[in-house]
Amino acid sequence: MLHTLSIGELAEQLASRRISSVELTRHFLARIERLNPSLNALITLTADGALASASAADARLAAGERAPLLGIPLIHKDIFCTDGVRTSCGSRMLDNFVAPYDATVVTRLKAAGAVMLGKANMDEFAMGSSNETSFYGPVKNPWNTAKVPGGSSGGSAAAMAARFAPYTTGTDTGGSIRQPAALTGVTGIKPTYGRVSRYGLIAFASSLDQAGVFARSAADAAPVLQAMAGFDPRDSTSVDTPVPDYGAMLDAPLRGLKIGLLREFFEGLEPRNAALIHDALKVYTALGAVTVEVSLPHLPLSVPTYYVVAPAEASSNLSRFDGVRFGYRCEQPKDLADLYKRSRGEGFGPEVKRRIMTGTYVLSAGYFDAYYLKAQRVRRLITDDFRAAFAKVDLLIGPTTPTPAFDIGAKIDDPVTMYLNDIYTIGANLAGLPGLSLPCGFVDALPMGLQLMGPHFSEGKLLGAAHRYQLETDWHMRTPQGYE
């Protein structure tokens, strides 16, 4: 079946004209229409546009053009602006918003010949760890539809796990690619902050947000990240540094690679989860890697630090959604103050309101120094810990999540417990580091993820380390029952 093939295999079939992009696109559209109602993974399906793009890709292929992503379908997280297509950010506030331009990520993948099938469901304004805060309802995990897929990019992760597309895009502010990748059994990479442009990505926390990729494997993720990465003058946080050939780095030998075991990640870790990580380490040591125990003493402070910094930035970024210029507008406002209050009160969901209120509080006079400034100082300490660790090792390894996927509704009324699901992923965002999650086994018949982190701009090394592991194991090849 076409949905079981890798990106490389699909590209070869397209290039040899054994299949056409239109045929491939129709296959995935039919699969989405049949299976998505049980998952709620997509907000918008762009069938007509997809078929038009596929037809254009076929013309390029017929003319002899060859490219890794030419004619291959994808699904974008509904946080990326897409010209002429609704971009809702999972919120009632933007339910009627049709973007007038493309995000840079969308532009670059279009130029590579990608075919957009639709937009994936997500936690409202990317705020959540379970994909239950969406205005369009929760996304369900293909491995068990009573479970969450993780968030905020849960729609993209669930769509990838169900093989609705060969790859999907997501964003990661505190773990929102890696955590849902782990809970749905797919590969997800968050690149270095600044490696992929944020232009046209609707902002949650500007110093933390970063676009990335979901795919079946590291080998599939490499050409997608290759197409997305690079300097963008329209993004003031974009870094002007060369992008290496990620595909060429996949087969780099691991002999002598120093992998750091994060002591803090294993303290109190559930034994079955810990056993999976140690089994993965055996694979790496058999490939010639060397393990070294390291410590990040300030890492336990990452969750409280994040939940000061991120809401503070969100309270500023979301002030533009006021019912005046675009988005949701309340009915018959009495005056300007009523327009603001009711539009925001009716347009935002509970989790977004909670974070706006928290952020406004920590930025307010009398509390700025006590909370926000102190959080930024701790952020620096966490970054320094990572820098010291990478002076000793090449990569860091540990679990992606503390537990497998939990029941829908189990934590939605307990925000603090929900926030702790990101305890292993937030540190990389605070330090602007790249991170990758890849499947490494199952607990209670649910997938678990192995997390790799590296120094700035080490995406190629992360992809290579993941690829070599995936050549030795088949966890990434497993598909949920009913989605084979």
Average pLDDT of span 348-374: 94
Average pLDDT of span 28-56: 98
In this predicted structure, the answer to whether residue 281 has a pLDDT above a threshold of 90 is yes
Query: In angstroms, rounded to a whole number, what is the distance separating the alpha carbons of residues 460 and 464?
Result: 6
> pLDDT at position 471, please?
98
Report residue 453's pLDDT band, with 50, 70 and 90 as the boundaries: very high
In this predicted structure, the answer to whether residue 266 has a pLDDT above a threshold of 90 is no
| Residue 333 included in any domain | no
pLDDT in tens, 61-97: 999 999 999 999 999 999 999 999 999 999 999 999 9
In this predicted structure, the answer to whether residue 380 has a pLDDT above a threshold of 90 is yes
What are the φ/ψ torsions at residue 446 (nearest 5 degrees)? -120, 140
| Residue 482 included in any domain | no
| Residue 122 included in any domain | yes
Indicate if 152 belongs to the active site: yes
Report CA-CA distances (Å) from 126 to 79, 109, 355.
Answer: 8, 22, 11
In the chain, pLDDT over 70 holds for what percent of residues? 100
Among residues 20, 21, 77, 153, the one annotated as catalytic is 77
| Exposed e or buried b per residue across 374-409, where buried means at least 16 C-beta atoms within 10 angstroms of its C-beta | ebeebbeebbebbeebbeebbbbbbbbbebbbbebe
In this predicted structure, the answer to whether residue 416 has a pLDDT above a threshold of 90 is no
Among residues 20, 21, 130, 176, the one annotated as catalytic is 176
| Residue 305 included in any domain | no
pLDDT in tens, 328-353: 999 999 999 999 999 999 999 999 99
| Residue 414 included in any domain | no
In this predicted structure, the answer to whether residue 365 has a pLDDT above a threshold of 90 is no
| Residue 269 included in any domain | no
Average pLDDT of span 254-264: 94
| Residue 86 included in any domain | yes
> pLDDT at position 268, please?
80
Q: What is the pTM of this model?
A: 0.97
| Residue 116 included in any domain | yes
Looking at the DSSP assignment, which residues form a beta bridge with residue 85?
Answer: 82
Give how many domains the chain has, as a whole number: 1
pLDDT in tens, 181-226: 999 999 999 999 999 999 999 999 999 999 999 999 999 999 999 9
Average pLDDT of span 349-373: 94
140: CATH: 3.90.1300.10
Q: Which domain holds residue 30?
A: 6-252+465-477
Among residues 129, 152, 156, 343, the one annotated as catalytic is 152
In this predicted structure, the answer to whether residue 29 has a pLDDT above a threshold of 90 is yes
